[in-house]
Each structure stands twice: as structure tokens, then as C-alpha cells.
Amino acid sequence: MAFRRLLPAIFLPMLILAACSAAPVVQSPTPPPATLIPPSTPTSVPTATPTFTPTPVPLVPGFAHVVIVVFENKEFGTVIGNPKMPYFNQLAQTYTLLTQLYAVTHPSLPNYLAMIGGDTFEINFDCTKCNVNEPSLPDQIEASGRTWKTYQEDMPSSCFPGTDYNGYAIKHNPFIYFQPIRLNAARCSRSIVPFTQLSSDIAAGALPNFLFITPNICNDAHDCDVSVADAWLQKLMNQLKPALDSTGKPYLIILTWDEGQGNHSCCGLPKLAGGRIATILISPQAKSGFQDDTPYSHYSILKTIETAWNLKLLRHAGDEQTTLITAPWK
């Protein structure tokens, strides 16, 4: 009897234990494998494509040397095509000929003053004692660190104080009229020199940046036939051009006349001006066999030199009507 009472006590825990062991085991779901996220790539900022602004081509070449040679009192039609001037016409056909360049006025001196001063300064005759207390192209040239000389044929000495001597005429030497030059003895003697010094400067390789060459009154066709001027020019060019070529630097030779024989005018000049004159540009930087029919004046020549050297435009060189010489350059 006692054994029977023990049976429930024995079997009940066993049943509970069996029930527990028979219950299904619920497993927790396995989490999916982690997805590997590649490291983020920094967002690239678009790089601006550099833009290059081309260097503008200068309107006028930066010449190392500029030469002006001035002849006297001949109209365009008297020179171009004249069989007595074969060499001048050969140059006109080979290089650049300006067919519409006009002198400023009559007579000689005001035109010479205009070439280097940009004005006639109300001088209307060939005075010998008048002076101009104004700046001029030589002042600008020196201020820019360049050099200049005028070579005056038959002038007996540097900075000669007299008016005329043999074939030298002061009215064809505008530099001596400007007081800042004339009254500075050292400056005057250094830069206003006899024509004979040109040969010495060529031999020494000492040509200035700016040369202004005045033949005597025979060789410039003032008192003698144009054939004399033509022969003189050929002799000069045979000496001068090889010297400039040998430098290997840009240069410009301007052959022109102070005035014509008429009163033709253009481009802001008075209605009656100094006539139409033949002007030739000789330069490795100028077009060959080219004729430029743009209206120009002596002020245009000054403006072109000042532009080539980045100088301030003096007086009428800065006028809107004064046309810069741009067409001939390569």
C-alpha cells in the first residue's frame, strides 16, 4: 500500500520531464550576412578647363631702330614714275609705298616741327631765330631708355649754333628749335651731329634707336635735280641697310619728303595743306611690293613711332583723325 502511494510521486516528475523533452526546440532565426558597403568615393569636383587668352598682335612692330630720311619739295607725281629717280622707284616697288600721305603745310620748317613735335606751334615760315619750349619726340625717346641722333649733312660741328653753312640749312633741322635740346649743351652736342658721324657710328656698331637724316640742300632735291638726290640715296642705303640687317633686330626706314608742290590735304589737316608726298617704308616687318592707299599725314608717322615704342601721343599725333599706319605690317 505504501508502494502505491509512491508511484504518483515517482511517475509525475518523469512525465513532466518527458513532456519537456518532447517539446520542439524553436531556434532563433539566423540573421542574414551583413552586406559589405564599399567605402564611399569622394565626389569629384569638376576642374575648370583653363582658358588661354592669346597675346594680341601689336598694331605696330616694336622696332629696335627707326630711321627717317627727308627730301625736299616734290609732289608724289613728280617722284613716282620719274625716270630720273630709278633707285627711289625701285624701292617703292620692292617695299611698301604709302600713296596717300600728305604734308601738314607750307613751307619746310613747320613740317619738320610737326614730324617730331606733333604740331607746327603756329610757325608758318622758315624762321631761323624762333624757338619752341615744348616737349618733343627726343624727350620721350630718352625717357624710355632709348637713344637718338640727327645726322645733318654739311653741318660743321655738333650742335652748330649758326643758321646756315654751305649746304646745311637750319630750317631742315627741327631738333635745334626745341629749347629743352638746344639749351642743354651736353645733350645737344651728343645728339645733333654732322652727317659724317654716321659712318663712324656704323663702324662702331653704335647706331642709336632713332635716326633722323637730313641731306644737304642739293642732295635733298631742294636746289639740285632729283637725279642727284636719287644717287645720294642709293649710296646711303648701300651703307645703312646692311648695318641694320646685320643686327638681326626689327627696324624701319622711312623715306619721305617735307612737302609737295600742291595744297592737297586729308585726315584732319586744314583744307589747304602741304601736298601729297611719296613715302616708302623699308623693313623686314613690312610687306613687300605693297601699296597702302590709306590717307596719312606727317602726324601719322609720329603716331606710328610712338605706338611702336609705347610712348604718349604728342599733340596732333593723338587726334582721332590722325590715322595710325597699320596696314603694311606682316
Domain assignment present for residue 209? The answer is yes
Strand bridging mode 276-282 / 251-257: antiparallel
Domain assignment present for residue 239? The answer is yes
Mean pLDDT, the chain cut into blocks of 10 residues (330 residues total): 41 37 44 47 56 76 98 98 98 98 98 98 97 98 98 98 96 98 98 98 98 98 98 98 98 98 95 98 98 98 98 98 98
CA distance 56 to 7: 119
C-alpha distances out from residue 132 to 116, 138, 175, Å: 12, 14, 10
Closest CA to 214 of 199, 229, 231: 229
Domain assignment present for residue 129? The answer is yes
Kindly report the CATH number assigned to the domain that includes residue 88.
3.40.720.10
Domain assignment present for residue 329? The answer is no
Q: What integer pLDDT is reported at residue 56 of this predicted model?
A: 74
Domain assignment present for residue 8? The answer is no
Domain assignment present for residue 84? The answer is yes
Domain assignment present for residue 193? The answer is yes
Q: What integer pLDDT is reported at residue 57 of this predicted model?
A: 79
Q: How many other CB atoms are found less than 10 A from the CB of residue 234? A: 15
Burial (CB count within 10 angstroms: exposed 0-12, middle 13-18, buried 19+), residue 17? exposed
Task: Please give the DSSP secondary-structure letter assigned to residue 245.
Answer: H
Domain assignment present for residue 9? The answer is no
Q: What integer pLDDT is reported at residue 50 of this predicted model?
A: 61
Q: Is the distance from CB of 279 to CB of 101 less than 8 angstroms?
A: yes
CA distance 328 to 171: 31
Query: Structure pTM?
Result: 0.84
Which residues constitute the domain of residue 153? 65-318
Q: How many domains does the chain have?
A: 1
Q: What integer pLDDT is reported at residue 26 of this predicted model?
A: 41
